[in-house]
Amino acid sequence: MRSFDDYLRDAEQAHGHLCAGQVLGVRLAMLGLQKLGIEDPHGKDRKRLVTFVEIDRCATDAVAVVTGCRLGKRALKFRDWGKVAATFVDVSTGKAIRIAAKESSKALARELHPEIENKNQQQMLAYREISDNDLFATQWVKVDLPPEEFPGYKGERVVCAECGEGINFRREVRREGKVLCRSCAGDSYYQPAE
Ligand SMILES: [Zn+2]
Ligand SMILES: [Zn+2]
């Protein structure tokens, strides 16, 4: 595994700025890799990992940089729970660990560095110093990962009977003998403008 400072530099570049979330995300991801014994996530171990992230904020970018798991590679899965947490799944063994930032970490940062007024600066420094145990809660978990969730899944592509658009990765809904996309089945995030 590369060093914390190396990963942090890469994370800063990818994310566009250095912030407490980057420090936290790099630490969180490095801990996950370490627990799973994954040493080279960008090299020989690059197909071993699937990562679930639970928030779309700063720390998530850092998790993606350290693990090499990206949305476009299907190795990064987003569950929108609004929590600074991630689950790392070693697909070669089925072992998985969930790591969540402790709610107490912000207060701890305040205690450690009351002399720094700027919250981001305060947390950036403190999150480098606080021990893994004080910063994170970790839990070994089981993740149900069906074949269509794996990065390399090659599956049949079907066409929605309503809108005619192609659907991959078994995301279709079958209703009364018809194949529908999730949007046409009523599970849509958009509506026609008029
Ligand atoms: Zn940020
Ligand atoms: Zn459709």
pLDDT tens-place string over residues 84-119: 999 999 999 999 999 999 999 999 999 999 999 999
Any idea what DSSP says for residue 72? G
Q: Which ligand is nearest to the CA of 21?
A: 1
Q: Which ligand is nearest to the CA of 18?
A: 1
- Global pTM? 0.93
Query: Is the model's pLDDT at 1 over the cut of 90?
Result: no
Q: Which ligand is nearest to the CA of 60?
A: 1
| Cα 165 to ligand 2 centre (Å) | 6
| Cα 18 to ligand 1 centre (Å) | 6
Q: What is the pLDDT of residues 16-44, one digit of tens each?
A: 999 999 999 999 999 999 999 999 999 99
Write b or e for each residue in 107-120: b if 16 or more Cβ atoms lie within 10 A of its Cβ, otherwise e: ebbeebbeebeeee
Pair 140, 96: CB distance under 8 Å: yes
| Cα 193 to ligand 2 centre (Å) | 17
The pLDDT score that the predictor gives to residue 56 is 96
Q: Which ligand is nearest to the CA of 165?
A: 2
Helix, strand or coil, per DSSP, at residue 118? coil
pLDDT level of residue 13 (50, 70, 90 thresholds):
very high
Helix, strand or coil, per DSSP, at residue 51? strand
Q: What is the pLDDT of residues 36-88, one digit of tens each?
A: 999 999 999 989 999 999 999 999 999 999 999 999 999 999 999 999 999 99
Closest C-alpha to 125, from 134, 133, 116: 116
Q: Which ligand is nearest to the CA of 185?
A: 2
Q: Which ligand is nearest to the CA of 124?
A: 1
The pLDDT score that the predictor gives to residue 140 is 98
The pLDDT score that the predictor gives to residue 194 is 86
Q: What is the pLDDT of residues 120-177, one digit of tens each?
A: 999 999 999 999 999 999 999 999 999 999 998 988 899 999 999 999 999 999 999 9
Instruction: Rounding to the nearest 10 degrees, give the CA dihedral for residues 21, 26, 27, 29.
Output: 120
The pLDDT score that the predictor gives to residue 155 is 87
| Cα 164 to ligand 2 centre (Å) | 6
Q: Which ligand is nearest to the CA of 178?
A: 2
| Cα 143 to ligand 2 centre (Å) | 29
| Cα 89 to ligand 1 centre (Å) | 25
